[in-house]
Amino acid sequence: MHPRALALSNAAVVLLALLLPRVTLAEPSPWRPIVLSELPPGHMAELRISAGVPIVVRFESELDPAGTRLREKGPSPFESLDVSGRLLLLHPSASAWLWPRMHLQVRRMDGTGLTLVLVPSPPALADVQVDVFLHPFSPGALRVALEKVSAEHEALKLQYASSQDELARYRDDEFNVDVAIAVLLLDDEASSHLVKDKALEVKNADVRALAWFVRLAGRSAYVFFVMNRHRTESWTLGQGAILNDRTRESLPVIVRARPSVIPPGGSGRVVLVTRTPPSASKARYEVQLQGPGDPRWQLCYYGAQL
């Protein structure tokens, strides 16, 4: 080989060796069906193999170990190739990615057979478990299809139950005065006529808010105008709470926010509404706006009155 070509070849091998460990960290595909009758004319079923990624291939009838082998002569790309009943177990070697496409002859115990094409693939696309069916109406294919439909049905049932719960909540909210006041205070125009007091400021490193207190129809509410000062992360309200400073008792509270997610540099409004307690003039409260997880997102206003 010409020295320059040899140098380029060696460089390519070194580059592949450097890239391979990163690729092998990817997650292989867990399961894939092959329906032989649906393959285009003249096409053979393919198995996507990758170095060190074992494959289980399951058939609908028992296999003949003596008739299941590679067509190509010479060294095998597998550390092991085993047949057990209806299962074909393949364990590609660490160097399998260097091999070209190969052909695996599979013979069933009834004498029929088929050929699988072994295609070297990156780990992210490699097969882990494959089911081989003769046609879509064979018992195995119908069983898999039924399992899929059953799983989809269960998912739809859960989605329906969630939708019913959400609908029931909306129906309850329709006649809930606390919710109506919260929604009213979220509106800029409406709240401008109700919010009269001087704003109080609460802030931390990433979030700043102006807070107003409103008492209306036997309810006490805090209106927060929240400004997200973080450069890259959005702010989402996780929970709002009003706690008695002395007893740490949490009052029943309705919390509404608009928008629900405040992007970096953006702003929004959060409203907390509770029924005004009989001892409101004597007690002090802590009003909390808790962001997603990290304490640095939390805003607290101490010594609040209701």
Tokens of 282: 């004597």
Amino acid letter for position 55: I
Question: What pLDDT was estimated at residue 85?
Answer: 92
CA angle 113, 145, 42 (to 5 degrees): 35
Alpha-carbon radius of gyration of the chain = 33
Per the model's pLDDT, the better-predicted residue between 118 and 9 turns out to be: 118
From residue 138, alpha-carbon distances to 59, 97, 141, 148 in Å are 11, 34, 5, 15
Decide if pLDDT at 290 tops 60.
yes
CATH number of 181-304: 2.60.40.1480
Q: How confident is the model at residue 229 (pLDDT cuts 50, 70, 90)?
A: confident
Sheet holding 299-304, edge to edge: 239-244, 285-290, 299-304
Per the model's pLDDT, the better-predicted residue between 10 and 210 turns out to be: 210
The 10s digit of each residue's pLDDT in 128-155 is 999 998 888 888 778 877 888 888 888 8
Q: Where in the chain is the domain with CATH 2.60.40.1480?
A: 181-304
Mean pLDDT of the residues in the chain: 80
Contacting residues for 267 by C-beta, under 8 A, at least 6 apart: 225, 226, 227, 228
Q: Which CATH number fits domain 23-141: 3.40.1570, 3.30.420, 3.40.50, 2.60.40?
A: 2.60.40
pLDDT mean over 89-107: 84
Q: Residues 201, 301: contact at Cβ < 8 Å?
A: no
Distance CA 58, CA 35 (A): 12
What whole-number percentage of the chain has pLDDT above 70? Answer: 86
Q: What is the pTM of this model?
A: 0.47
